[in-house]
Structure 1
């Protein structure tokens, strides 16, 4: 489905696309669909290996010529799109072919069995010894039972293969909904969850959202490198995942921003949870894996807002975002709710 100005994903996608195009222009990279796919994924931050590869090329002042760009696409983008589809398709064809063969065998065996029993019956009419007839009939029945057992085993094996394929498809779907760096839900899963939560909220159930941003993250990245920055993001994601309730959805919103959607929670409940998250992160000790060095503590700013019946989800996120930036403007390492936006507006 094409994005529109009403799509809550539009602003995010447009921002990422703009950064990708600007960077491509700076690197003098032709704006082809393949190149754009690479750089869009790079700035979306959802593919660690791709980002590390590009960062390494930039650090070594390597030119992004046509061959390099093609290699990046074929190595990191194309396999994600095609490998799972091709593998699943081939396995399904193999299972369906085997099942078709089993069915054909079963039909042929059934005809053979009916013919053999019919012949035994004809022999009975001609006065053949009853003992011989019983022996022949028992033999045919035993052969039929053997064939049935063999077919049953074959179908059971293919059923297990179908279970494996179904599990593989389920895992592929889960990967498609998960941010690879943090393990949290990605924007696709977030948007689906918000749409469903909005329906319930329009029936009167409260719905609140908190938006979390790591303070001075760019400075931290510049000082200690992207690898350590990634470690910090994973730590923030773990804290968020541990603190939210089972019915909530923690997700990566973009860059160093994380989000949590809380169905059934009013503004006060969400703000209380946000404060617990803020304190837990402030108390974290971060150690550099390569050296064992203890790094400076990290703090986060959090904005909180509650859904208003009938409004667009983008409006809810926008209020949450403004609360977040009010928290940053107020000194960082704090939680600000939309109520304080109203106070700030009245004071202004």
Structure 2
């Protein structure tokens, strides 16, 4: 049997399974059951067989749990999936409540209109008084219905706000380096795209600084990873103090950091990088537990200015080449892209 025939056969089994279990063939459910039926995920299939043997119902909620467990790779993805599913459910609930309230209000309005017509036609004071009482009752029922609907809408709005907060928290955590608390490479790349687009549209200046801790590997090997992590946090804190609201400082990877400086040309960015280098170099490191003198820490930095319209990789390449030049010529230096004359190469440790 060829690949296409096999895929169609598996797809038919998936749809038959969804009908049998009473679950909708959403993309998530289809992926779950296609993977099981194809035998591509033994751990998933073992779990499904175990649930079936134990008589556990494989309904929509259980399928969602299996999808999150076997297909979502991170807490952020699980949060997004849960919030998305709940938002979809909330939208259905709101639509049903509004439709139901609309029908009931239309029926109440028809009854009120009919009572109003009878009052206008009837001349008997007693009958008019009775009809007025019924009219008042209908008005009260409509008012109660609206109050109940308003309360439901407020509750839904509060839950949506909570879900939005959860999604925003997940986004922040996905773009944060857990060790230093700085932005991570993903956040850097997103912000770089934003600032580069703005630079092309408005002419706003933008510069990139690439910072690397000198001899960090040797330092880490000599004093241990815990001390190395502490050093990374110290440097991160210094960098954080030198950025403004529209700037971004991120841990690019290992002992390398990047700064995106908005409204800063090459000279301004060089001045920022030099102040950072001086502040880091003035730090005298000591092990708090043992009191051991760890010496002084230094950094090297390369600086480049964005040229509107150029590939973003080219901006980083020039700043990284300047960083290499700083390393090659002695470290503990800040070098501008205009000072680079040596061929590009990987930075020294």
TM-score (norm 1): 0.68
Give the CA deviation at 1:175. Answer: 2.8
Q: 2:237, 2:191 → 1: CA distance?
A: 20
Secondary structure of the equivalent of 1:129? helix
Gaps of 5+ in 1: 1-33, 35-73
Deviations 1:62-103 (A, max 9, x none): xxxxxxxxxxxx79x724364113311332133224313422
Matches within 5 A, 1:294-333: 295-308=294-307, 310-333=309-332
Deviations 1:158-211 (A, max 9, x none): 011112222222232333333333232322332233334334545654432211
Aligned to 2:213: 214
Q: 1:87, 1:225 → 2: CA distance?
A: 40
Matches within 5 A, 1:94-133: 94-118=89-113, 120-121=115-116, 124=119, 125=121, 127=124, 128-133=126-131
The one of the two structures with greater contact order (alpha-carbon pairs below 8 A, sep at least 6) is 1
Q: 2:113, 2:243 → 1: CA distance?
A: 71
Change in CA separation of 1:341 and 1:291 when aligned onto 2, cut-off 3 Å = same
Give the CA deviation at 1:110. Answer: 1.0
The alignment's C-alpha RMSD in Å is: 3.1
Aligned to 1:24: none
Aligned to 2:79: 84
1:280 counterpart = 2:279: yes
Larger radius of gyration: 2
Q: 1:90, 1:334 → 2: CA distance?
A: 52
| Contact 1:102/1:155 (<8 A) preserved | no
Q: 1:201, 1:208 → 2: CA distance?
A: 11
1:139 counterpart = 2:134: no
Give the CA deviation at 1:293. Answer: 5.5
Change in CA separation of 1:143 and 1:309 when aligned onto 2, cut-off 3 Å = closer
Of 307-316 and 232-241, the range deviating more from structure 2? 307-316
TM-score (norm 2): 0.68
Match of 1:177 among 175, 178, 183: 175
| Contact 2:280/2:298 (<8 A) preserved | yes
| Contact 2:286/2:295 (<8 A) preserved | no
Secondary structure of the equivalent of 1:275? helix
| Contact 2:277/2:300 (<8 A) preserved | yes
Match of 1:190 among 185, 188, 191: 188
Q: 1:94, 1:222 → 2: CA distance?
A: 53
Change in CA separation of 1:293 and 1:153 when aligned onto 2, cut-off 3 Å = farther
1:270 counterpart = 2:265: no
Aligned to 1:60: none
Gaps of 5+ in 2: 1-40, 42-68, 344-349
Aligned to 1:69: none
Aligned to 1:338: 337
Secondary structure of the equivalent of 2:137? helix
